[in-house]
Amino acid sequence: MDELDTLVQQAQADFAAARQAAELENAKARYLGKSGALTERLKALGALPPEQKKALGAEINAAKARVEAALQARRDQLAAAELERQLQAEALDVSLPGRRRGQGGLHPVSRTIERIEAIFGSMGFDVAEGPEIETDWMSFTALNNPENHPARSMQDTFYVDLKDAEGRWLNLRPHTSPMQVRYARAHAARHAQAIAQGLPIPEIRVIAPGRTYRVDSDATHSPMFHQCEGLWMGENVSFKDLKVVFSDFIRRFFETDEFDLRFRPSYFPFTEPSAEIDIAFRSGPLAGRWLEVAGSGQVHPNVVRHYGLDPERHIGFAFGMGPDRLAMLRYGIDDLRLMFDGDLRFLQQFN
C-alpha cells in the first residue's frame, strides 16, 4: 500500500536525520508511540469488517516491523558513533612504553654522612642535630671568638636580619661547632651530679653532622655545604686519643690502611693547641698528596666553661670535617657544585 510505504520511508528519513539518541526517541514516538501514526492505524482497524481487518492488519504490522527495524539500525549506528567519539577523546596509545615509577636513592652526601655516623657510632659516639639558624652567641661568642674579633668575619657569615628573644643576632650557622656547646650544655647537669656524688665523670662523645652556610661559591666552595662536628670530652682525653680515633675513622671510611695521617699546627679560637688533620694515600690517583680532612684541637678552657663544665676536670678534643669533601675524595668527584645541582644523571651513579 502506497500510503504505508510513504509512512515507512518518512520514518526511515526521520530516523536517519536524528543526530542523537534523544532526537531518535522523539522520532520513534511519532510513529510507534501511543498516538503515533502506525499505532493510530492499528487502533482504527477495530472499526473495519473482519476481512479487511485481516489484510490491512497484516500490512500495517509489516510496515511497523520495517519501522522498528529502521529504528533499531539507527540506534545501533548512533551508539557505535558515540563509542567511536569516546574512544577518540580518550585515545590511548597502547604501543607507548609504560611509565615506570621513579626509583629514589640516597644523595652521595647523605650516604657519606650515614657512613660517618655508622663508623663513629661504632666507637661510642652519639649523633646530634642542631638548628641551622643560630645565635651569634652560639656561632661565635661561646666558641671563644670575642665580640668584634676579626675571626667573626673570617667566616663570611650569612647574617639573618632578625634577633632572637634575648636580642641576639641570628645567622645561618657558618660551622657545626655550636653543636659542641649545645650538646655539652644539655649534658652538663648530669656531669655536675656525677661530680657531686664522687662518681666517675661521664664522657661526652658526640658527632653532629649537618648543613652549614658561608658566603662563598666556586668549584670547591658552595654557599650551603656540610660539616660534621666531633667532640670527645673526658677526664683526660688527649691528642693521642684523637689520632687513634681519627686514623681508625679514615681507615674504615676509605677502606684502606694505605695512608699516612699528620697533625699540622693551626689556629682556631675554640681550641688550643689546634691542628689540621691531613691524610696522604700511599697508592691510587691521589697518592702522595697531603689532603686536609679536618680541623681539630684540644678544647679551649673558655669554651669548656661555656659548656657549663670545669676546665680543670673536663679535658678533651673537638674536630670538624667536611662530608662533601670526604664524598668527593671517596668517589673521585672534582667539582663540588655537581653535588648540589640536582642533576639526576650525576646522582643516579651513586645508587
Binding-site ranges for ligand DAH (CB under 6 A): 175, 177, 229, 268, 271, 295-297, 318-320
Minimum separation from the CB atom of position 127 to ligand DAH (A)? 16
Of residues 267 and 331, the one with the C-beta less far from ligand DAH: 267
* Shortest distance in whole angstroms from residue 231 CB to ligand DAH: 7
Residue 175 CB neighbour total at 10 angstroms: 22
| 6 vs 58: CA distance, rounded Å | 17
Rounded Cα gap, residues 96 and 122, in angstroms: 50
Q: What CA–CA distance (Å, rounded) separates 73 from 136?
A: 86
The answer to whether residues 263 and 296 touch, using CB atoms and an 8 Å cutoff, is yes
Least CB distance from residue 317 to ligand DAH, whole Å?
7
For the CB of residue 238, give the shortest distance to ligand DAH in the complex, in Å. 14
Peptide bond into 273 cis (omega under 30): yes
Q: Are strands 158-163 and 126-127 parallel, antiparallel or unpaired?
A: unpaired
- Tell me the closest approach of the beta carbon of residue 193 to ligand DAH, in angstroms: 26
Q: How far is the CB of 260 from ligand DAH (least distance, A)?
A: 20
153-171: string of b/e by CB count within 10 Å (b at 16+)?
eebebbeeeeeeeeebbbb
> Of 112 and 271, which CB lies nearer to ligand DAH in the complex structure?
271
Q: How far is the CB of 107 from ligand DAH (least distance, A)?
A: 22
- The enclosing H or E element of 227 equals strand 224-234
Q: What region, left, alpha or beta, does residue 308 occupy, with left being phi > 0 and alpha being psi -120 to 50 degrees?
A: left
Which helix (H) or strand (E) segment holds residue 299: the answer is: strand 291-299
Q: What type of residue sits at position 69?
A: A
Centre a 10 Å sphere on the Cβ of residue 23 and count the other Cβ atoms it contains.
Answer: 14
Q: Of the two residues 152 and 175, which places its CB atom closer to ligand DAH in the complex?
A: 175
DSSP single-letter state for residue 275: E
Looking at beta carbons only, is 142 or 318 nearer to ligand DAH?
318
CB 186 within 8 A of CB 202: no
User: Least separation, in Å, of the C-beta of 151 and ligand DAH?
Assistant: 10
Nearer to ligand DAH, 24 or 250 (CB): 250
The nearer residue to ligand DAH, 112 or 180, going by C-beta atoms, is: 180
Alpha helices in 174-275 (DSSP H): 178-196, 239-254
Q: Which three cell numbers stand for residue 16?
A: 536517519
